[in-house]
Copies of this chain bind each other. A is one copy, B any other.
């Protein structure tokens, strides 16, 4: 039941064209859908600044291109993750301003004003090894599209603890930290012991044998002896970036 229809019914009641009981019965029939779309609008307001996101695996190039174009038309930032340059070649024809991030394997479109960023508040994105960087870059592009600032710190795994310790100050001043590690996945635990802000841990599928494609670092992170560590799915740089950005945003603007 859209607004026009609802108003019309009420006006009919006011003009006594319909009875109170008729209107009452009709209102009892209001589908949840109508109300929920109202809620959805409200929710969209809350979500202002969030990019529209397309998870590309299991989608064809034409599907991705069509969805990207449709979302771009809404005027929001758009992000397509886990895609390829070949897909980008198709999307960019439809949406000429979109860009491809080779490290993150992501297509993105910036349409909102990025000047609202507050460099005093930032998310630190940290990796244990060079090979974890693609996951990190997915987080970075997500955070950036959400108007937040990023500090990138790569290749500071725990087997060379001095590299990590040299970055303690940058870590301690961050609003939130995305800590990414494959292999044994110990990085977030060590970082969690050094800072007092939330650490979002991302296990990666970098490793072999008893790594079980990321299960080993996933378990390591879930069992972290440091209290401030929560975990997202294996290789899920997008969610980690999204969460960190929602935290940083609250620091900057309040909600």
Contacts and interface: CB of A to CB of B under 8 A. Distances in A.
Contacts of A35: 30, 32, 35
A209 B225 contact: no
Interface stretch (A70-78, A89-97, A102-110, A182-190): A182-190
A239 interface: yes
A145 interface: no
A186 B186 CA distance: 5
A247 B162 contact: no
Contacts of A160: 193
A49 B127 CA distance: 29
Contacts of A161: 36, 161, 165, 190, 193-194
Interface residues of A, number: 109
Contacts of A7: 20, 24
B225 A172 contact: no
A227 B238 contact: yes
A80 interface: no
A130 to B, nearest CB: 7
Contacts of A6: 24, 27
A31 interface: yes
A150 B238 CA distance: 29
Interface in A10-30: 10-11, 13-14, 16, 19-20, 23-24, 27-28, 30
Contact of A231 (B28, B198, B227, B231): B231
A175 B255 contact: yes
Contacts of A251: 250-251, 254-255
Given A36-B166, A47-B196, A158-B158, 14 more contacts: A7-B24, A10-B23, A10-B27, A32-B165, A42-B172, A186-B190, A190-B190, A197-B246, A197-B250, A208-B235, A209-B213, A210-B218, A247-B247, A251-B251
